[in-house]
Amino acid sequence: MPELPEVETIKNELTPIIIGRTITGVTLLWEKMVRQPSLDEFRSRLTGRKITSLSRRGKYLLIRLNGEDWLVIHLKMTGALIVSRDLSEPPRFTRAIIELDDGSRIFFRDPRKFGMMQLVKDTSSVVGDLGPEPLEPGFTPALLAEILAGRKAPIKAILCDQNIIAGIGNMYADETLFRAKIHPLRTGASLTPDEVRYLHRAIIDVLRAGIENKGASVENYFRPDGSKGTAHIEFRVAHQRGEPCCQCGTPIERIAVRGRGTYFCPKCQLQS
């Protein structure tokens, strides 16, 4: 699913294309993706509005419109935003189309129909409970140590909890724990001060690499121009079950942690 690097890539690549553009029309092909307000109000409040800025919070894309409204988009498991002036037909699995005044259209593609859009006055009503951003200066080793102190949940589950740390999901949590040499079932409280520092550095390095490589196109993620990201090519454990570990040659294993498929090296990431 799109995680922080994918949503950051979408934000970065959409910004020069749609900032300053005016929305001229909205077509909803899967109406349930609009969470609020009503469908008629959603269409009427979007149409004629100018896009003034784009930002990201966790895995959410926040589109500021002139006036007081924000269009909040979450791509969930399989969503992608594709922008084009030339496509005569919408891409397969398109669930919504936003038309712009320069003739381009934003296609919200979502095979599994989990993606959502909301039009709100205050983004805190949607993203207010998210944890700290891991790439912001305030996310320090000391803050991470404070976050983990006393937590008995598996570290993999902690990293994926958006109310604890925003933006990290399955793929990048697995890559982070491998880089830090921490078993995914270790509890947060069990990490030593050195391990917390290694984990902090790994979180930042893995996420920055994912952004540099324009996100991971493991399955359904596409960049706004329809091309794929390449971050998955450098994955060392995520989605690599049975492949030899790049460091020791041991086959990568997959287990479930709190219902999430989790990949790790049983030799490099010892449980105790």
List the chain domain ranges: 4-127, 141-264
* Beta strands 260-264; 23-28: pairing state: unpaired
Give whole-number Cα distances, 239 to 15, 50, 103, 167, 174, in Å.
31, 40, 39, 19, 9
Specify the pLDDT at position 108: 98
Topology match between the domains 4-127 and 141-264? no
Lookup: tokens for 226 = 């329809």
CATH class assigned to 4-127 = alpha beta
pTM of the model: 0.96
Specify the pLDDT at position 1: 75
Q: Looking at the annotation, which residues are catalytic? A: 2-3, 59, 260
Specify the pLDDT at position 32: 97
Specify the pLDDT at position 195: 98
Specify the pLDDT at position 272: 73
Phi, psi (deg, nearest 5) at residue 266: -70, -15
Compute the distance between CA of residue 87 and CA of residue 207 in angstroms, rounded to an integer: 32
Give whole-number Cα distances, 101 to 15, 123, 229, 244, in Å.
15, 25, 28, 51
* Beta strands 34-36; 116-120: pairing state: parallel
Topology of the domain covering 141-264: Helicase, Ruva Protein; domain 3 (1.10.8)
Give whole-number Cα distances, 8 to 174, 239, 258, 272, in Å.
19, 22, 26, 35
Taking a C-beta distance cutoff of 8 angstroms, is the pair 211, 147 a contact?
A: no
Lookup: tokens for 139 = 């996310």
If you ran DSSP here, which 8-state letter would residue 264 be given?
Answer: E
Give whole-number Cα distances, 103 to 24, 53, 83, 269, in Å.
9, 19, 10, 52
Compute the distance between CA of residue 70 and CA of residue 128 in angstroms, rounded to an integer: 14
Q: Per-residue pLDDT tens, the chain, 272 aa: give them.
A: 799 999 999 999 999 999 999 999 999 999 999 999 999 999 999 999 999 999 999 999 999 999 989 999 999 999 999 999 988 899 999 999 999 999 999 999 999 999 999 999 999 999 999 999 999 999 999 999 999 999 999 999 999 999 999 999 999 999 999 999 999 999 999 999 999 999 999 999 999 999 999 999 988 899 999 999 999 999 999 999 999 999 999 999 999 999 999 999 999 999 87
CB atoms under 10 Å from CB of 149, counted, come to 11
